Amino acid sequence: MSAQDSTFHGFANPVDPSPAELRAWAYHPDSVPLTSMPQDWDLLVSGNRLVATLFDLAMDPACPARRFALHCLYIYAADGIRTTFRAHPKRRFWKLVERAERDGDDPMRAWAHNSRVLLAQPDVFVYRDWCEGGLVREHRRLP
């Protein structure tokens, strides 16, 4: 049975969800609305432990929480780049960027493009765009 078919019954610990819990929630996000999550939940889940799950969710156009997952990938990219990859392994980040470029649709290719732009020009970082969802909402590519 896949996450799409299962019913989501909540998080054991919403501050530290498991990859399986996050995946199940993403296909049934109305069962536990984001408004009921801890403050800054997007920042909490955007780390190394869940990035592969977030990436898979963002790659799935049929995932109801895809925009949330993509938003978390922007946080992950900005955090890694702005800490000179002290926060996240550079190799893992590059594998995700390359996979998005190769296999992703337009929103995922835009994330990869914007991540490359930020790496080359760290001064293009704007908190609202990268950490508050601006680039996802506006579906914008940086010049």
For 74-106, write each residue's pLDDT tens digit: 999 999 999 888 888 899 999 999 999 999 999
Domain boundaries, the chain: 19-138
Cβ partners under 8 Å of residue 110, min gap 6: 135, 139, 140, 141
Predicted confidence at residue 1, as pLDDT, reads 40
Summarised one tens digit per residue, pLDDT across range 25-82 is 999 988 877 777 778 889 889 988 999 999 999 999 999 999 999 999 999 999 999 9
Q: What is the mean pLDDT of residues 2-27?
A: 78
Closest CA to 129 of 120, 138, 121, 116: 138
pLDDT at 24 over 70: yes
User: How far is Cα 125 from Cα 135, in angstroms, rounded to an integer?
Assistant: 11
Q: How many CA atoms lie within 13 A of 76 on its CB side?
A: 28
pTM value > 0.95? no
**Which residues have a Cβ under 8 Å from the Cβ of 129 and sit 6 or more positions away?**
74, 135, 140
* Residue-wise burial string across 68-96, b where 16 or more C-beta atoms lie within 10 A, e elsewhere: bbbbbbbbbbbbbbeeebebbeeebbeeb
Residue 143: what pLDDT?
92
